[in-house]
Structure formats: C-alpha cells, structure tokens
Amino acid sequence: MVPCKIITVTSILFFLLGQRSCQGSDKQSRLLVSDPTYLLSQLESLTREVNTLKTVSSQENQVLKSKLDDQNTEIASLRSQISTLTQKVNAQGSTFTVWGKKTCPSVSGTENIYSGIASGSNYADKGNGVNTLCMPHDPEKLIYGLTVINSDDVGHIYGSEYQFSTHRMHIQEDVPCAVCRVETASSTIMIPGKLSCPPSWRKQYTGFLTSNWHAYQGTEYLCLDLDPDFVEGSRSDQNGRLFYPVRTVCGSLPCPPYENGDLVSCVICSK
C-alpha cells in the first residue's frame, strides 16, 4: 500500500510536470506512482530545469545590467558636454593682464592674447597717463602724421623697471606682461590682501601689490606675479615706469587684522 504522503507529493509533481507521468496505461501509472526511485529522478529533473532557467535568467539580467550601465555612462557624458556648452554660451569671456610674466597662467580656459612690456608714465612726470599699459613686442606704426602747436605738446610713455629683487629677478630689469582672456568667465577681479579666491571663483594667479614710490607721482596699484619674469638683457638703469612693493601702514588701516610694514598680497580671480 502506497503511503499517503508519497501519493500527495507525487500528485503535486505530476501537476507541475503537466502530468507527463500519466501517459500510457493505468497499470504503468500505478507502478510509477509507487516507485520512489522514479519520483526522485523526476524531482531531480525538475530541479535541473529550474536551475537552468535561473542561470539563463541571471545571464539575461547581466546583459541588461551591462547595457543599462553603458547607457548611464553615455547619459552622464552627454550631460557634461551640455553643461560645458551651456557655460560657453552664457559666458561672454573676460580679459585681464598678468604683470611680471611673459605668458598667461596655465589655467583651463585661459588663453594668451599677446605678450609685451609693462609701460607707463615716468616716475617723476606730473602729466602723462596714470594707468599702466602692456605694450606689445610688435607695434604697428600710424600711416599718417599729426600736427601740434609745439613739438613738445605730447605725452610720454616709458618702459618699466623693477625696483626690488626676488627669486631670479633683479633690480633695474624690465617688467614683462601678458594680456589674457578667460573663455568661460564673465568677469575678472583683483583682490588685494588675499592669496585665495572666493567660493566658486577660479584663481588665475597670486602675487604682491606694487605701485610707484610714495614720494613720486601716483600710479595705480597692480598685482605683480609672485614669481616674476624679466626681459633678458634689460638690466640697465633707465627708470621710466617704476614698480615698487607696497607695505601696510597702520592708522586708518586697522591693525589688527593688518600689521604695520607687511607686504601686501593679491590674487586675480575669474568667474
């Protein structure tokens, strides 16, 4: 007599297999139902089929996951390209001059427009311009002349010289300059007394503040690069536009946070 438990398991197994064991004569079916070896082989066969389905499903999932990862990578790349293009479209570009260097900073998005010689008014002249210019190395002459009342009715522009030594640069050497453009920025500022830029601003270069000597004619404050270059073969005392370092003076300038006699740092930032 077949145990009730075996008959129940067999019934379930037959149902899952589509009753494939029920094909043939009734006598054969009764023999199979009462044969534990046959039931075990059917169970093992069913287990193998389930495991095969699991393996196929796992492989398909891996393929789908790989494709999804590739698509996500491509989407991230496209988003980055769109962001870069958006910045270029929205930014109009900004220019600045780096004083004391022959080339522009090695910062992504910054290009060199031209290089030249820092120039301006003679240190002792009362007139001329008060701003400092970066005169290019390859000037182009006017194609016509001008008429003035007196031959001396003109302003003057001179080259420039360092009035101090630092690193590989020495006193009396001429001051180079470079005019630069930041392609992905809309503004550029010089911040005196700082070596770092505000959050979200990009540093172009750091330096120290310079001006004319305090007893000479006034000039603008300029941020000279912290590691200045010089024009080769220019170590002769010709004066012209002079570059002196700037020191703090306590009084109306609060000390602290400042200290009397300190050199003033500076930084050029773009955004």
pTM of the complete model:
0.63
How many alpha carbons fall within 13 Å on the CB side of residue 118? 36
Same domain, 66 and 97: no
Same domain, 186 and 241: yes
Which residue bears the tokens 């970066």? 134
pLDDT band with cut points at 50, 70 and 90 for residue 2: very low
pLDDT digits (tens, 9 = 90+) for 142-177: 888 788 788 787 888 999 999 998 888 888 899 999
Statement to judge: residues 76 and 102 lie in one domain: no
pLDDT of 11 over the 70 cut: no
The reported pLDDT for the residue numbered 267 is 97
> Domain residues for 129?
92-140+153-271
Q: Are residues 73 and 99 in the same domain?
A: no
Q: Give a yes or no: residue 146 inside a domain.
A: no
What pLDDT band is residue 234 in, cutting at 50, 70 and 90? low
Cα–Cα distances in angstroms (integers) from residue 237 to residues 160, 205, 240, in the given order: 10, 28, 9
Is the domain of 159 the same as that of 190? yes
Residues 52 and 98 in one domain: no
Residue 38: inside a domain: yes
Using N-to-C axis directions, what is the helix angle for 36-90 and 4-16, rounded to 10°?
40
Whether residue 148 lies inside any domain: the answer is no
pLDDT of residue 95: 92
Domain boundary at 48, 73, 88, which?
A: 88
Name the percent of the chain lying above pLDDT 90. 41
In this structure, are 79 and 124 located in the same domain?
A: no
Confidence of residue 36 (pLDDT cuts 50, 70, 90): confident
Q: Stretch 69-76: mean pLDDT, rounded?
A: 82
Number of domains making up the chain: 2
Asked whether residue 230 is domain-assigned, the answer is yes
